[in-house]
Structure 1
Amino acid sequence: MDFYKEWLGIPEGQRPPDHYELLRIKRFEDDLDKIRAHYKKLNTHVRKYATGQYSMQSQDMLNEMAKAMLCLTDIERKRDYDEGMGREFPPERDEFGRQPLLDVLIRQGNIERSQKSEIEEFADRRGLSHRDAVVQMKLVDAEMAAKALAQQLGYSYIDLEDVLPEDSALDLVPRSLVKQYSFIPLFVDDDRLMIATIDEIEHELEEELRLRYGVPVRPVIAVPRAINQGIAKYYAPGMRDEVEAPAPQPKAKSGKKAEKGDTKARDGKKPDKSAAKKGGKPAELSDEEKQSRKQMGILMMCVSIMIPCFTHVLLNSMGTLRVTQPWVTKFWLVTLLTAPPTIGYVLLSYWKPLKNK
């Protein structure tokens, strides 16, 4: 006896029928209330056969319908079931209109949708990105994950073994910066700075690079290991450590003075140091020059005090001086007159550049 046909009116064909046919609803029905209503109606009907000679068959069918209803009213399980039956869903998008990484991998056939929740749980538990999670779980390799991330973000993927960064691009950023943000500047193309990175770049880095290069930034995705190897190769210790951010351009001068100043700059002439002597702002000293000037100032102050004292003690010990001699008092007076001016000169003039920012 065909109970599906006799009790539910399902035509002869696939046995057991799929969930939609079993619950007598159209294929891929998404109205959860309608699914539950059909299940409840059929459940009431099949329960009529729960007693009597077909009680076992009735119970089996009730369980089968319950399983179908639970599957079709669970959003995630229903999606998996529908995709298994050939249904195609439009790709999911995040707040920026981008398709999530795991959905990219699913659409590419690299992972199963049933693995999605397991990957998300693994990533949350270990504080990983989804890209790193699928690699650590050995579901895909690093290159495949990087390509999927590039597709998600709408960027290009690049194999750094096939590209040689230009020195003009590498020289404009220090080693500390590329290590901090894990990126490698490649070259300027179409008025954009192309950089290889492992993920989206932070806003602070984007603004920093825009200031240094004077053009917008466009990232391309590379494998993390390749980025680290590139940093070790192009930014070895001691290389590109002293690069500083360019200072803001000064405002253009007006009239003939501006033309003279521009001419000197183009001719490569050094600026006139007399400006500092006439009251202009003195040139800023390096750290080594500041330290040297500080030590020399201390030495000058000590000498201004010690030499007169040392000379007086030496002569007195040789019996040359008599404390009663009137000019001995004058000798100490000379010490008092020479030391304070020297100390004042060091503090107020000689050390003044140390205070300039």
Structure 2
Amino acid sequence: MDVYKEWLGIPEGPRPPDYYALLRLVQFEDDPEKIRKHYKKLNAHVRKYATGQYSVESQELLNELAKAMLCLTDAESKKEYDRSLGRVIDERDAATGRKPLTAYLQEEGVLTGAQVNEVKSHADRIGLTLRDAVVQMKLATVEQATRAYANELGLSYIDLADMVPEEAALDALPKNVVRRYTCLPLFVDAEKVLVACADEPSHDLEEEIRLRFGRPMKTVLATPQSIKENIDRYYAPGMRKEPTAPAKAGGMAAKTGGMAAKIAQKVAQQKPVSSLSPEERAERRNLGIVLACMTFVILGNLDTWVLWDLAWRHFLPLSFQYFPFVGTLILGGPALFVIWQLYFKSR
């Protein structure tokens, strides 16, 4: 006997029916109170057969009804179940209003609801982004995943094979910067700089662009591989002259240089340590600590903003761009020795 048809009035079709059909609900019903109401009504009806010859079938059907109700009244379980039935769920982030790239891929028919869950589990387990996970699982191409990621970020997607960057834009941004941020400058207009990026741009990159071009950047997304290929193409060795550091660096160097001159003048005017009172000695030690800190701040800024572009990058490996403090290492020791002699050593 077909208990679904005879007892619940469900027309012939897939057996067992999906949870919505089982509870006599419209598909993807979202009102939990209505779901519970239908469950209670059907539960009471099926219990009429619990003591007769169909007691086993009755109990099995009661269990199915309970499972359906519990699934559809639990938000997370319902979301996963609805996806398995092909429902496209709007998962916009409450703060940003963005949908994840998996939602866009599902809308395009690239992913099924079940595959969305698999991608998320794989990404969480391995520690990947959703874009990398969906590509690694070979469920979407890099282009499809990047286009969906651009939609998630509210950015445009661009195929760099169709673009020829302006030479002026390429000349203004040095090779070490485009490699560090995996980006490629494309065009410069009166208001913005169009830059192709592999990911959402960081604040540091936006500031770098603003300082070098004197205007903000407009971001478009491209595949990481296409950006790297174009960097190799347009920044080949000897192809273009490296620009100098942004104006901000020069200003910082000038300020720190002026501070160094003032400190040196103060050192020259100091009295011998032996002639100082305990309070004056404590004050001098504190001044020595400040001077030591300022020395490393000055040297670090010179290394980062001036000497890296002017000197270090020409003969040091590219990996040193993440720790460009060569001058600090060379001059820091002697500077500390002098400060120790002047401010800390008892004479």
- The corresponding residue for 1:201 is 201
- The corresponding residue for 2:165 is 165
The aligned amino acid for 1:99 is K
C-alpha distance 18-173 of structure 1, shift in aligned 2 (>3 A):
closer
Summarize the alignment of residues 45-60 of structure 1 with structure 2, pairs less than 5 Å apart: 45-60=45-60
Report the structure, 1 or 2, having the larger helix content. Answer: 2
Moved more, 138-147 or 81-90: 81-90
Shift of 1:19: 2.9
- The corresponding residue for 1:43 is 43
The aligned amino acid for 1:118 is E
Shift of 1:39: 2.4
Q: Which runs of 5+ in 2 are unaligned?
A: 252-309, 312-347
C-alpha distance 66-203 of structure 1, shift in aligned 2 (>3 A):
same
The aligned amino acid for 1:72 is L
Q: Distance in 2 between matches of 1:110 and 1:15?
A: 26
SS in structure 2 at match of 1:219: strand
Summarize the alignment of residues 1-357 of structure 1 with structure 2, pairs less than 5 Å apart: 3-4=3-4, 7-8=7-8, 10=9, 18-25=18-25, 27-79=27-79, 81-82=81-82, 89-90=89-90, 92-93=92-93, 95-189=95-189, 191-240=191-240, 242-247=242-247
Residue deviations 1:144-198 (CA, integer Å, cap 9, x gap): 1111112222222112122111110011111111111010111114621111111
Residue deviations 1:37-77 (CA, integer Å, cap 9, x gap): 54245334423422331123212322331332233224345
With structure 1 as the length reference, what TM-score do the two structures score? 0.61
Higher alpha-carbon Rg: 1
Q: Distance in 1 between matches of 2:191 and 2:41?
A: 67
Q: Distance in 2 between matches of 1:180 and 1:43?
A: 63
SS in structure 1 at match of 2:243: coil
C-alpha distance 92-239 of structure 1, shift in aligned 2 (>3 A):
same
Residue deviations 1:212-243 (CA, integer Å, cap 9, x gap): 11122011111111111111111224555642
Q: Distance in 1 between matches of 2:70 and 2:241?
A: 62
C-alpha distance 158-92 of structure 1, shift in aligned 2 (>3 A):
same
SS in structure 1 at match of 2:64: helix
Question: Does the CA-based 8 Å contact 1:194-1:218 persist in structure 2?
Answer: yes
Q: Distance in 2 between matches of 1:94 and 1:232?
A: 40
C-alpha distance 239-176 of structure 1, shift in aligned 2 (>3 A):
farther
Shift of 1:106: 1.0
The aligned amino acid for 1:200 is E
The aligned amino acid for 2:224 is P
The aligned amino acid for 2:138 is K
Q: Distance in 1 between matches of 2:3 and 2:112?
A: 35
C-alpha distance 67-207 of structure 1, shift in aligned 2 (>3 A):
same
Q: Distance in 2 between matches of 1:11 and 1:182?
A: 58
Q: Distance in 1 between matches of 2:235 and 2:208?
A: 18
Shift of 1:141: 0.9
Question: Does the CA-based 8 Å contact 1:175-1:240 persist in structure 2?
Answer: no
With structure 2 as the length reference, what TM-score do the two structures score? 0.63
The aligned amino acid for 1:57 is E
Question: Does the CA-based 8 Å contact 1:192-1:215 persist in structure 2?
Answer: yes
Residue deviations 1:252-274 (CA, integer Å, cap 9, x gap): xxxxxxxxxxxxxxxxxxxxxxx
Residue deviations 1:18-51 (CA, integer Å, cap 9, x gap): 5334324455332324423542453344234223
